[in-house]
Each structure stands twice: as structure tokens, then as C-alpha cells.
Structure 1
Amino acid sequence: MTVMAERMSQMSVVEFEAIAAAAPETVTLEFIDGRIGVKKVTDGDHSTIVSWLARRCMQMRPDLDLYQGQGLRVDAYREGRAKPDAVLAPEAHFAGHGEWADPDGALVVVEVTSYDSDTDRRGRHEKPTAYGQCGIPVYLLIDRDSCTVTVHSGPDRRIGGYRTIQTAKFGEKVLLPEPMGIELDTEILKNYVR
């Protein structure tokens, strides 16, 4: 068993939230693993992928809403703040919540990779750890770099991450397990990569 030394945080959550509130609309800020992360403004293909997912999920599960831009307090993971590309939750679940909502009730968090330098660290390593530690049932990573869809399920609240990780190439069918219980045909995603 490896013991990792805890890194010092760049700042407090209160300081981060003040900076994030003052940031221009051209950037999205996150605070994960004690560090500020800057997400690129999404491109048209990125937005199209999220819209495609919204339509598929709403067809199969009309009792759910897909939230874009909803910040989550991933407090279990070093008092973090994450802004997933999308969050699937029961209809009107986040009504009345502020910019940073408690993740309880989120069924699936979705990230679509951007073409930036810290995608690997943030989307493939830190976020699955944070979302799993918060108990979010499913983390869906649509990875435009590797043309894969990775479904993380079975969250591990104790150490973070997920017990089950299944990866499929664009073009294959992917099952989003319970609580979603829907299958996605990912063929169309081939159209939205560079």
C-alpha cells in the first residue's frame, strides 16, 4: 500500500470561490486537488456531443434533466469544486441551488475532453477520484483524444475513484449502468473529433 504525502492547497475554497465569481465568461474555473484548473471554452463539436447525449438520455429517461455548467462541491476530495460538462439528475433537482451544489442526487457526471494540456490529469485522473469519493454513481468520460467512451461505475467513497471501468471505442455500444440503465450507440461521435 502506497502512502502519498498530501500536497498543500494553493488557497482556501472561500478564496477560490471569490476568484471564480469574478472570472470572465470566457473561462471556467475549477478547484480540484488543491489547485485551480482552467477549462477551455468549449468548441462546437464539444457542445454537439453534450447535446447529443442530452437527447439520448431524455428519450430514454424523461424523468431526468441534463444540467450544463452546474458546479459541484466535491468536498470529500480536498474541498474541491468541479464544473462537469454535464450532470444528469432527477428533474428540477438543482432548482434553488447556487453555483456550487452538493453532488448528492447527481446520477451521472459527464466530461468531454478538450484539446488542452491538462486534460489527462484533470479528466482522466483527478475527476474520477473526486466524483467517486463523493459517491456519484456514474462518471462518463467522452475522450476525443483517444476516440473512446469510458464508463466509471461503482463509486468508492473511502479512497475515491470507481470499482468498475469499461472503455469502448467510438462506434461501439456502451451501457450506462443503473441508476441510468440505458445503452448509447456511439457511432456518431466519430464525426466530432479532429
Structure 2
Amino acid sequence: EVFFDDDNFMPYDSVFSDEFYNKDPPKDQVELEKLLDEFRTDVVEAGNLTSKEEEEMMDYMDDMVSFKNFTERIRYDSPEASEFQGHLVVACSAADSDLEIAEAITARMEKEFGRRIYVETRCYKHARPEDYLFEVWLESYDVDLLHSKRRATFGSATWAGPAECDGDQIDFLVEEVGYLIGEDHRYSYRLYEYEGIEEG
């Protein structure tokens, strides 16, 4: 992982760089694609499905996760890209209610931070209502989970946030993002990261 205040952070590490999108895909994505390819091969070789059923199965698998870029590509050496301070990821299901909230978060971040924050919505179409999938992550000087419907729903001992992302929670996200991309946080440290370390 490379963070924005690392000495080895290069222009092509910015999401506004064309080179950023030419990097090798993440390991988990490669493994998932390999698994899906193997499953497709097994389905065809088994011959248990009709042509129509096989086509429907392939369409379903191809549509499990979809990506759409809502941000205009910007050159890394442009004035706009020089303002970049963080990458906010909203992970949710394909339910209209989730996508409406994701859109509201995107619009609010655009209003508050402009080009300083790049917002990406990752829509997982295979997520079910009982998965309670709605998370908001920020990658800036650190990587932080800002909202988790699942952790709130199942009462994680390490999570005190609400399950629903309403207007008040979006206000909280704006405030938290503003702090986490700021200089005060950049030059601070978190006590829990030093737990168990003794002086001397």
C-alpha cells in the first residue's frame, strides 16, 4: 500500500492518472475471475443445462459485479489533480435505496470537497438484503472504515456507528473526511496503534 504522504508516492499512484488504471488488478479480483472462468468451464463440460439455461447462467455470472466510472478522467499533472487528497469508496448492493444514498454521498462530497475527494461507488449485484452491505471507506493518509451497516446490525464490539446512512450520518461523513484529509490528522498519531509499546 502507498499512502499520499509517503516519499515514494508517485504521480501515477493518483486515481486521476491514466497510469493508475493500467496497473495489475488486485490479487482477489484475479482469483475471483479465475474461479468464475473455472466454474463456466465446469458448467459447459457437465452438459446438465439446456442452451437457454446455460446462457442465463453465464449472463448472471458476468453481471455479478459491475463498474461504472462517474468521474471524468483527469491528467495527474493538471491543476485539478494536484488537489487530490483522498479516495472515498461506497460499497453497496444494487438496491435502488442503496444507490440513492450512494448518489447523495457523492453529490455531497463533490459540494464540500470538489476535486480533493474522488468518490467511487462499488455496486455488488449479488449482495442480498440479509448481507446488510453498505460500507464507506476512505483511503487518504490512512485507510479508514467510516460507515458499516453490517457491523452496526450485528453489534460488533468495535463498532458504535449507526446502521442507516441518513442525512445526519452523511453530515458525519463530511466532517470525518474533512478531518482525515487535513494536516491535523496527517501529523497526528493514534494511541491504539501503539498499544503495548513501553517507553525505554
Which gives a bigger RCO, structure 1 or 2 (Cα 8 Å, sep 6+)?
2
TM class by smaller structure = under 0.3
Point out the structure with max Rg over C-alpha.
2
Q: Name whichever structure is richer in helix by fraction.
A: 2
Q: Name whichever structure is richer in strand by fraction.
A: 1
TM-score (norm 1): 0.26
TM-score (norm 2): 0.25
